[in-house]
Structure 1
Amino acid sequence: MCTVAISNSPVFSPSPRVSSSIFCKSSPESCSSSPSFKFRLQKPPPPASGLFRGLNDDVTSTCSSVSVSPTQLKRKRPTRLNIPVASLTFSADRSTTESTVEDRWKEVEVEEDEYSVYCKRGKREYMEDRFNAIVEFNGTSKQAFFGVFDGHGGSKAAEFVTENLKKNIQNEVESRGEKEIVEAVKQGYLNTDSEFLKQEKRGGACCVTAIITSGSLVVSNAGDCRAVVSISGAAEALTSDHRPSRPDEKQRIESLGGYVDSNRGISRVLGTLAVSRGIGDRSLKQWISAEPETKMFKIIPEFEFLIMASDGLWEKVSNQEAVDLARPFCASSDKSEVLSACKKLVELSASRGSVDDTSVVIVQLGRFCL
């Protein structure tokens, strides 16, 4: 049975004012066992609720119908800060092979009023990128959580991060409060890394996340996924790629007894991994840190839109090129135009020789400016 599952563990609470259009493009063969799998899914609005009132259900929907039955749990303490989080994943019968499940990520499209997402598999056998995206309206405040996760050595780490990072950040924010959100995000990343290592699974994942709450933007990264904002048309990177060639990263690795080697012009940790931070990577964990770098900004009217993407984009497209290409599309009131911008960016990277998986999320920041 080929289905689309929207995972609400622990929380899935999008706004009743927001509906998603999700398109999954894959070969007909990959869905041959499904009685009804179509390329378009219209998500109906689930009931509104506070983001830290955990929803315990997983919602599995065929393209012919969708139902959401959230269970509201009691809380021991009042919510201090709401971070809306949800994830898009795909599930299948146990008899379905991993390759079939992975193929459903071959090309994914999501379009909303506040954001659009486009993911496309490169020349790899399986798609290793994943993402989170959710928006909630809570009275007059607008809140959101976005994440792009680029797996390497398989998709297991990226899948694990997609399912658990949001929850771990939520738990830390609840216990620490809004004033300590930077430390809460850091501990959320570290907890997710520790949990994944206990799974004894191979591979790792680079991450970039953005939390929008109370008119502020909190951006974090571990690895080479990147976030770039358009400020009145000028591109500004909000994250710095964690590569072994970065002087401070090289010094950190060497201080821990490791080394950085260059192979065909690419610096690698112990001659192996081309990133110096990320979640997972058990065999190199002594040198690969899961600690993110986090920056916090007040969203001002000059902040037009945010581009979050895996390195499949940034290896071939500069920050300013990405903003210049996307800006005319983002100026349109038609949300399908923003999705077109995501696609154009992926196409541009591919036309320049990228063979990597590429995921692009564009967030219309003007919608969150208080």
Structure 2
Amino acid sequence: ISRSIGDAYLKKVEFNREPLLPKFRLPEPFHKPILLAEPTVSVQRLYPEDQFLIFASDGLWEHLSNQEAVDIVHNCPRNGVARKLVKAALHEAAKKREMRYSDLKKIDRGVRRHFHDDITVIILFLDSYLISRSSWDGPLISVRGGAGICGSANT
């Protein structure tokens, strides 16, 4: 999963100029990136009873707790469940601004940034019961840096 998709104007000085809207531009040039896209990597042991993983940007976690997100995914049909998480977060964002969700949705996307952060959600369902034990003997595959290059986990 990538970290900090977008916000290029905070990473490289050449993106901190037109056609970027003036309200997003930094007033002075910078020499080091203000925002890094280096991922935080963590290893989590998975167990047969684990059902899914939720990968989401901070825009989701600003409005939903871990348990709220888990409950939504656990209690909703798989199809469209990521969208349901986004909608739940937007409902909370609207509530914090003392407005209705329907009114929040009417605000232009460019202006809506003042009401909530971008929200990206991916749900990975772990259907371990579909995988035979013998298939676990194969090589581990790793995708590094989002470049789309696969190789063994030892690289």
TM-score with structure 2 setting the length:
0.49
Larger relative contact order (Cα-Cα within 8 Å, sequence gap ≥ 6): 2
